Chain A
Amino acid sequence: NAGVTQTPKFQVLKTGQSMTLQCAQDMNHEYMSWYRQDPGMGLRLIHYSVGAGITDQGEVPNGYNVSRSTTEDFPLRLLSAAPSQTSVYFCASSPGTATYEQYFGPGTRLTVT
């Protein structure tokens, strides 16, 4: 059981470039979420999904897109990277209605220059 995996671990982008952060889980969890973590600001929810084909916006969705075509995968797309998107990104999953316990991936450190 790999749990929640994220790729890449580190990424440097130039302003205006696009990229996809990958997230996968092998626990058959229904719920998946993306957070960004900035110094002094805790974790903020970007987008979340309660099942395949269902996504919704969190607190800070602007500049990001998601899709959930399978239960396992939940990629996060940066459409046109900006320096304000420099952050550490965490993906998380949880079983769903039975228990809310979230399992986090190892994170992706993104720098936009």
Chain B
Amino acid sequence: GENVEQHPSTLSVQEGDSAVIKCTYSDSASNYFPWYKQELGKRPQLIIDIRSNVGEKKDQRIAVTLNKTAKHFSLHITETQPEDSAVYFCAASITGNQFYFGTGTSLTVIP
């Protein structure tokens, strides 16, 4: 089955700086790559996603890039704010009904 690896496991940045989280996947058939944000004690919530026919997608301060050849994708958060502090998960899916998640990155934005 698919194997998704996520790095780093923890990340601390100063408010206003950028944060980058990287994931790699093993199955070249994967074609959908979502990113979720999970605050403490809450449910995961989708923040951005990308399909394999697109190399980059941006939504305000958040962007995702995908390199199909290297089988990796990254989340970029610019101008970080304290409310960005949370755990972020990447995932990969082939069919949209089986998702394989990374182990999460705990992001802390220091005011």
Q: A residues touching B (Cβ–Cβ < 8 Å)? A: 31, 33, 35, 40-45, 48-50, 58-59, 90, 94, 96-97, 99-107
Interchain CA distance A105-B96 in the complex, whole Å: 18
0/1 per residue, B93-105, Cβ < 8 Å to A? Answer: 1001111111110
Q: B1 an interface residue at 8 Å Cβ cutoff?
A: yes
Q: B29 an interface residue at 8 Å Cβ cutoff?
A: no
Q: Which of chain B's residues has its CB closest to A98's CB?
A: B96
Q: B residues touching A (Cβ–Cβ < 8 Å)? A: 1, 6, 9, 32, 34, 42-46, 49, 89, 91, 93, 96-104
Q: Which chain B residues border A31 with CB–CB below 8 Å?
A: 96-97
Q: Determine if B96 and A97 form an interchain contact, defined as CB atoms under 8 angstroms apart.
A: yes
A50 shortest CB reach to chain B, Å: 5
Q: Which chain A residues border B1 with CB–CB below 8 Å?
A: 59
**Given known contacts A40-B104, A45-B100, what 15 new A-B pairs fall within 8 Å (CB)?**
A31-B96, A33-B97, A41-B103, A42-B89, A42-B104, A43-B44, A44-B101, A45-B98, A48-B98, A50-B97, A59-B100, A90-B44, A100-B34, A102-B34, A104-B45
Q: Which of chain B's residues has its CB closest to A95's CB?
A: B96
Q: Determine if B43 and A102 form an interchain contact, defined as CB atoms under 8 angstroms apart.
A: no
